[in-house]
Amino acid sequence: MSLETGATTAPRTSLSVEEARNRILGAVSPIDGWERVAIRDALGRVLREDVIAPFNVPAHDNSAMDGYALRAEDLPDGIGERSFRVIGSAFAGRSFSGVVGAGQAVRIMTGGVMPAGADSVVMQEKVRTDGEHVLISAGVQHGQNVRRAGEDLSEGSVAISRGKRIGPADLGLVASLGLAELCVARRLRVAFFSTGDELASIGSPAEPGQVYDSNRYTLHGVLTRLGCDLVDMGVIPDRPEAIETAFCSAAASSDVILSSGGVSVGDADFIRTLMDRLGEVNFWKIDIKPGRPMAFGRIGNTWMFGLPGNPVAVMVTYYQFVMDALLKIAGVTPLPERPLIPMTCTTAIRKSAGRQEYLRGHLLREDGAWEVRPAAAQGSGILRSMSEANCFIVLGESQGDVAPGDTVDVQLFDGLV
């Protein structure tokens, strides 16, 4: 692993967001270990083996419409119409066992297996019927309204590729192939703790000057959503021995360690020096707001992220740097693209060039058009605006002030799946 800062052309002492992301993602690699689980338990897990279609999907040629199955060659050409004798029916789940001959038709429903001899379905709206016969006019094409066997998936082809994180559609797809189990990567084990002498834990009263530890709860939330096994190590005081003990026990039990706080260069900020002593580490000043200082490295085989202490900075650095690293370590490939959506901004924003800013934003619909407004409170300790927001407004490094009506990039908090 290379954790060197590397030679840069400009004497820049800090990293861009993209550079920091690339270094982290370039350094980490997937864990070994897998298990077979029942498909319901595979939701959110990372597929370890390609899912191969054991048969064609659909298994048979079948009708895409309610109508009549017949031989295309019998259809009238040019002008005029022809009468067909209805010799049976093919409903979904109940096929017609005979053979369709010249001038014959079989009543068929959507999903019904195409009867032998027939190659076309004529929509029921296009025929006139008198019970035993149907009358069909010229102009109906060969092969029409038939879904071919294997047109969704052919037998032996890859239905879902290894490295995908299983979502609801994948569960349905796997079930449609008749498979009951999937081979998934073992869960990632992530240890996390908060550091700070000022932190009180919920359940005990906060003394004057103390604040309740919230970072462990936001981290609990994001890591649980990601499907990790969690090792919550509580609050660790700002004492080097205590932090060292926490790092060592976390490294022994986990794939990844996340700490929050103590990563600046204040008197009580021991994370960086300890990470350096115990393992390999890079301490980065990243041109990002919030979340400027961050440490990244490893102790043995365990990756470490020393996140800042401010509650919003924890979430921003988690989403922008840690989440995709965890996905990569968990075996996800390719990593998901996270779209930036251009959106009209309703409000002026003061922005100094030279760092990438993540503002909490409200995407809302005004007179039928979507637009974005930054939350009023943008302090990096203010979780309420994080809780109320539904997106980040992402202002690139070189961007300056935003005027009302300007277009800005937005990153959504929620997706459908």
What does 306 bind: ligand AMP, Mg ion, none (CB cut-off 5 to 8 Å by kind)? Answer: none
What does 282 bind: ligand AMP, Mg ion, none (CB cut-off 5 to 8 Å by kind)? Answer: none
Burial of residue 361, with CB atoms counted within 10 A of its CB: 0-12 exposed, 13-18 middle, 19 or more buried: buried
CB of 288 to Mg ion, least distance (A): 19
What does 199 bind: ligand AMP, Mg ion, none (CB cut-off 5 to 8 Å by kind)? Answer: ligand AMP
The residue (of 261 and 331) whose beta carbon lies closer to Mg ion is 261
Cis-peptide into 58, omega within 30 deg: yes
Measured in degrees and rounded to the nearest 5, phi and psi for residue 204 equal: -125, 150
The residue (of 144 and 214) whose beta carbon lies closer to ligand AMP is 214
Buried b (16+ CB within 10 A) or exposed e, 39-71: beebeebbbbeebebeebbbeebbbebbbbbbb
Is residue 274 a contact partner of residue 2, using CB atoms and an 8 Å limit?
no
Buried b (16+ CB within 10 A) or exposed e, 105-143: bbbbbebbbbbebbbbbbeeebbeeeeeebebeeebeee
Is residue 187 a contact partner of residue 43, using CB atoms and an 8 Å limit?
no
The residue (of 163 and 306) whose beta carbon lies closer to ligand AMP is 306
Is residue 69 a contact partner of residue 63, using CB atoms and an 8 Å limit?
yes
The residue (of 163 and 261) whose beta carbon lies closer to ligand AMP is 261
CB of 231 to Mg ion, least distance (A): 21
CB of 221 to ligand AMP, least distance (A): 13
CB of 195 to Mg ion, least distance (A): 6
Chain residue whose CB lies nearest ligand AMP: 309
Distance CA 22, CA 28 (A): 10
CB of 398 to ligand AMP, least distance (A): 28
Which parts of this chain interact with ligand AMP (CB under 6 A)?
A: 194, 196, 198-199, 211, 213-215, 260-264, 266, 308-311
Distance CA 282, CA 272 (A): 8
Which parts of this chain interact with Mg ion (CB under 5 A)?
A: 196, 261-262, 309
Share of the chain residues as helix, strand and coil, in percent rounded to the nearest 5: 20, 35, 45
Angle at 112 between CA 111 and CA 116, to 5 degrees: 135
Amino acid at 355: R
The residue (of 19 and 269) whose beta carbon lies closer to ligand AMP is 269
The residue (of 213 and 371) whose beta carbon lies closer to Mg ion is 213
CB of 193 to ligand AMP, least distance (A): 9
What does 311 bind: ligand AMP, Mg ion, none (CB cut-off 5 to 8 Å by kind)? Answer: ligand AMP
Distance CA 381, CA 69 (A): 67
What does 317 bind: ligand AMP, Mg ion, none (CB cut-off 5 to 8 Å by kind)? Answer: none
What does 347 bind: Mg ion, ligand AMP, none (CB cut-off 5 to 8 Å by kind)? Answer: none
CB of 234 to ligand AMP, least distance (A): 10
What does 213 bind: Mg ion, ligand AMP, none (CB cut-off 5 to 8 Å by kind)? Answer: ligand AMP
The residue (of 309 and 374) whose beta carbon lies closer to Mg ion is 309
